[in-house]
Structure 1
């Protein structure tokens, strides 16, 4: 053993082959951090100083090759100055260059995932043999950055500029077939012969020294393109990357880097890469997307904790069909949990089954599901007008109309029929779980399980713990939600929980803007430019005018000191005219189906006439910055209160609720990450500027105190 580190082992075989093996102790995967890079540098120095070494085989002792950089370490790095970030990545990049410049041939045997820095390690070798079961790629763009350890330099010299740009700006994992066809790897091997094929390739490289040296020289030269030619080759990629501007600039930076560095020799291009990486790392998007990654990992860890005590869910039921019930039934059946879908009307069951069929047909059409599998999933949904079979379910979900009296009746009916250990969950979006539990004999088995529409696309499930909900009920529903492929976030009972509680002041801010005369179409345009998938008026139309009105009423009543309004709102006016939004073709906008049957919005002149009552002082204009402030501040302040009140256990859970449940722009990282970005003192100052508009702009005393200390919501 030439080197025996905590992350790397270096063994010299009798034939002069040194195996450089990534083997990170007891951890499940190999990753790149300071320790790994330090040990890699020392191992490479040993190889270069050992004359007996004739070639190097780079392997992994884990199921994956190397999954990439340690993102948790990156959070501290990203807080440094831009110059310090540049120095950090440049130093690590030099270590991979040491690998490229070893005096002997090198072959990487890619046995599993090689992502980000892991792929950059493999690119540092002379040759790459890839397992047929492996995948490689550069996912950094999803963190607001791009490869910084030589990936933007070495990959183009293997596969060309256009393909490299596609790999980098898509962040997609590449198959062995694609990698071989494009030239990123040299051979594919089945897992059982990967090592043998890689060793054979290394033997050929040792014997064919001239070819190996020529290959290295080619990879050190610049690409044979003028700057104008490089620009032409990258024109499509630049146009694609530009679509994410201004909020997600990393893809644009990466394409500019590829163009600028194309004609440079390797080392000059690597220096340019480090400088560009430092620029990307200091953007708001990078800080926010890394924060999201960390929050996602925390949510997975929490879910794994609950899974240890969760009771298995082998069969489920949903009461209340229609689109929502059909979506829940589809999701459960598709994930292997048979489900009864119960309703009191045939047409509702038909609607639910139609929804499930539509979702399955889409999967088949897209090639993601075979028809026989789709048929089997559909057969796992049992539509029923009765409660037959409810005695055998482990979880029963109530998803009837959002009326407390109706829900209480249905919940009592369910409880009388299910087993004593079965968990009953309500899909309520705004009613308190404590209120719904009144009259139940086993409130410890009752919980909230708030799905979001459309169920198949929305990742979040709010798991709402009532005052009497047991730990077993929480664990079981978290486990079931995870099995459904969703992200469960456990919240405490309160009006609107987290998503609708924070959405309500956001909508109230919108209604006040309309009351003050601001054009709702302009508000939508500004907020969509800010990054929201849809503006507030369009969002209300999609949710439904009646449902939006109901949620605002329920949540506002729960927090009357902050959320009451004293004027006739645009929702009041439009709902009175029976304009329900997309569901009946008329809301703030009017809707007609396109060629694929999807509703497309258009401006409706009639809306202008109707809204005259909702803006008593006529039309007015305010600047974009003021629209954004007036919309976003109430959302930030209420999210902070959710954390202070203990409705969620952490700022990360609050932020992920809004990202997954509301579609809050990811480049913000969440409402609270955005507040930290703005600076809490600035948030308080801006809120005080709008204090005359109502209590939704009033920061809590706790937030004022944190701001006064110059602290952040997220711990540093």
Structure 2
């Protein structure tokens, strides 16, 4: 008997219970156990029906994704598992709690009946891993709920509730919470009493035509750019409509196989695991205490401070919001309220919930009111003198043991911490704008930041639904440091006469939703030059009143719908600055050269972050770029993409560009090492 399998008989019903913590993933051992349980009960004449359920917090939450990197998948594979459930001579009832996702949901579809508690959720999230449901999901689901609803569910990857699942016919019955086994037994006994029908989803007709899929495809059209899986998913569902079940299943398997070995899927699986790795810090184990964060202070009620505040409000944590002037404080509070009211107008929260959230804010005009907070986050101008002054004052205001955090995006955290008597309590919490939306939180570890502080804020990131990436102290930390090269090179090419549209289009073709020139206009040119010294190109734009989208003109002109158009005035500003800076003109650069100039230095700088210990691992750099700058997921991030190019080719490209374009292209020691050894960034 397997360690993960327990079988028992209650009356005339055999129970298969799987217990494989933490989420009962369908590993080789679990697949073997389920098949063995089915064999045992089918061989027992006293058993008339079978209930399949799981111990722990969830039903089968999906496949063991790590097995996808070790092909072929070991026997018994998923085909054997589904066949064992579907071909059982006795009715099989899937009893579901927690989540039935991916292969777990596909197994439930292969069973003859499905019951679930109200809190259960069902979904096929494979699209997020660059694959499709490859164990019959694209063939059985359309037969159960119709072709168009099935395609919607598979393309979205979003789980549905038990109530919605019952309404659509995904499950046969919603049973009482906490009484799943008892209710499943009763359901199975009723099936036996009614004749023990073997209801096979595969035998049902598909409702809907290929034409019915068009509106679904239109709703998800943005998913098709760069991603391979959505198109294959459509083909698989079309096969369910047009082919007999076995032929459709064969087509699904063919399409799944193509995706599984694709670079896009490898990239998306890399990102999946990378995001789950970021919170793990080598020198911080379970023995390091997590400090309670019951009340937070935020200094600055502007765009960033207001967004940071909203994160904590939504987690139910009260915030004392500090501004120096009543007008600025009122404006900040009004903006937060407006954001929530806009959400309520869309039906995503009630008016009562808006008031509850606003009730968690204590607006004040003095930092003295922060004496009782557990964490204070400074979100003021990027001026080191201002930040040092604030931290010096906080040192005398906040209680001993309060965490002092700076939202600085570029400045030296150690210099800020030196303004206090207790630098071990100082940490960087770099939110990305808009702070209430962007999922990345860079946690900056100062030279003296304590392990307790790091452990606490890494845990806190999850509480406020952010993905934390730990960074060391340097200019720009990780995301801003590496991506600054892309911004600098885009401006340099503009000065060389390369058309702005071409620069943006090359990055659009690579997979970015927005090119670098458009991104500058979106961020705001005045924001980007804050603290800059001397004459700069963006400074000339700001002096001309061209601050970006918010003023209707930046590098581009913008209409009322924020649609961009080329500007003669912008072209003159660029030409004037190019003449001032004596920039040689080279307008006819190829798409490949533009791509290399924009992206190769990003990968190279990421390698330097690894060399210097600024980033813990290459995958953290990928997560930072994806979540902080919307680097296209299907490329895996800059370091994974660097591996797809190969360190040798990257080195050759950098060496070819360095003599002409300067130090930004000087290859790092790590690039040289990996090129010589044939190594990979993502092994670091």
Bin for the TM-score computed over the shorter chain: over 0.9
Q: Is the 8 A contact 1:326 1:351 kept in 2?
A: no
In structure 2, relative to structure 1, the CA distance for the partners of 1:445 and 1:150 (3 Å cut) is same
1:701 aligns with 2:669: yes
* Structure 2 residue 19 is matched with structure 1 residue 23: yes
Q: Match of 1:382?
A: 362
Any conservation in 1 of the 2:521–2:548 contact (CA below 8 Å)? yes
Corresponding position: 1:200 with 2:194 = no
CA shift in 2, pair 1:202/1:508, >3 Å: same
- Aligned position for 1:604: 567
- Aligned counterparts of 1:315 and 1:204: Cα–Cα separation in 2: 53
User: Is the Cα contact below 8 Å between 1:544 and 1:581 reproduced in 2?
Assistant: yes
Q: Tell me how far apart the structure 2 counterparts of residues 653 and 622 of structure 1 sit (CA, whole Å).
A: 33
Contact 1:320 1:342 in 2 (8 A): yes
Shift of 1:394: 1.8
| Partners of 1:330 and 1:381 within 8 A in 2 | no
- Decide whether the 8 Å contact of 2:28 with 2:77 is kept in 1: no
Deviates further, 50-59 or 89-98: 89-98
Deviations 1:563-603 (A, max 9, x none): xxxx9864243234343223443321234555xxxx55444
Matched, 1:125 2:111: yes
The counterpart of 1:67, out of the listed 58, 61, 86, is 61
Contact between 1:307 and 1:479, CA under 8 Å: does it hold in 2? no
**How many Å separate the matches in 1 of 2:454 and 2:206?**
61
> Which residue of 1 is the match for residue 222 of structure 2?
243
Q: In the aligned structure 2, how far is the partner of 1:484 from the partner of 1:193?
A: 33
Aligned to 1:139: 125
Alpha carbons of structure 1 residues 422 and 142: separation in structure 2 relative to 1, 3 Å = same
Rounded to whole Å, the distance in 1 between the matches of 2:179 and 2:374 is 46
In the other structure, the counterpart of 1:329 is 309
Q: In the aligned structure 2, how far is the partner of 1:601 from the partner of 1:402?
A: 30
Of 257, 274, 281, 1:278 maps to 257
In structure 1, stretches of 5+ residues that fail to align are 555-566
Deviation at 1:614, TM superposition (A): 4.1
Among residues 27, 36, 40, which one is paired with 1:33 in the alignment? 27
Count of matched residue positions in the alignment of Structure 1 and Structure 2: 678
What does residue 50 of structure 2 align with? 56
Q: Provide closer, same or farther for how the CA distance between residues 480 and 231 of structure 1 changes in structure 2, counting only shifts above 3 A.
A: closer
The one of 156, 161, 173 equivalent to 1:170 is 156
Deviations 1:320-357 (A, max 9, x none): 22111122222222322222222222232122112211
Match of 1:151 in 2: 137
Q: Which residue of 2 aligns with 1:664?
A: 631
Tell me the TM-score normalized by structure 2: 0.93
Q: Contact (CA 8 Å) 1:117, 1:147: kept in 2 or not?
A: yes
CA distance in 2 between counterparts of 1:454 and 1:306 reads: 32
In the alignment, what sits opposite 1:641?
608
User: What is the alpha-carbon distance in structure 1 between the residues aligned to residue 76 and residue 512 of structure 2?
Assistant: 36
Q: Distance in 1 between matches of 2:633 and 2:510?
A: 11
CA spacing shift, 1:695–1:522, aligned 2, 3 Å: same
Q: Distance in 2 between matches of 1:183 and 1:109?
A: 15
> How far apart are the structure 2 equivalents of 1:269 and 1:61?
33
Query: In 2, are the aligned partners of 1:447 and 1:463 still within 8 Å (CA)?
Result: yes
Question: Does 2:8 align with 1:11?
Answer: yes
Alpha-carbon contact 2:475-2:481 (below 8 Å) kept:
yes
> Partners in 2 of 1:8 and 1:587 — Cα distance?
64
Does the aligned pair in 2 maintain the 1:89–1:274 contact within 8 Å? no
Mapped pair 1:589 → 2:556? yes
Distance 2:316 2:365 in 1: 23
Query: Are 1:148 and 1:273, in contact at CA under 8 Å, matched by a contact in 2?
Result: yes
Give the structure 2 partner of residue 405 of structure 1: 385
Checking the alignment, whether the CA contact within 8 Å between 2:31 and 2:77 is kept in structure 1 is: no
Measured after TM superposition, the shift of residue 308 of structure 1 is: 5.0
**Alignment of structure 1 residues 451-490 onto 2, 5 Å:** 451-490=431-470
Return the alpha-carbon distance in structure 2 between the equivalents of residues 326 and 7 of structure 1: 49
User: CA contact under 8 A between 2:147 and 2:206: conserved in structure 1?
Assistant: no
2:350 aligned partner? 370
Provide the rounded CA distance (Å) in 1 between the counterparts of 2:656 and 2:223.
32
Compute the displacement of 1:193 (Å).
4.3
1:625-671 CA deviation, whole Å, 9 max, x = no partner? 33222211111111111111100111121211111111111112211
Deviates most, 335-344 or 424-433: 335-344
* Distance verdict in 2 for CA 1:307–1:284, change over 3 Å: farther
SS at match of 1:314: coil
SS of the residue corresponding to residue 104 of structure 2 reads: helix
Mapped pair 1:287 → 2:263? no
Q: Is the 8 A contact 1:327 1:455 kept in 2?
A: yes
Give the TM-score normalised by the residue count of structure 1.
0.89
The CA RMSD measured in Å over matched residues stands at 2.6
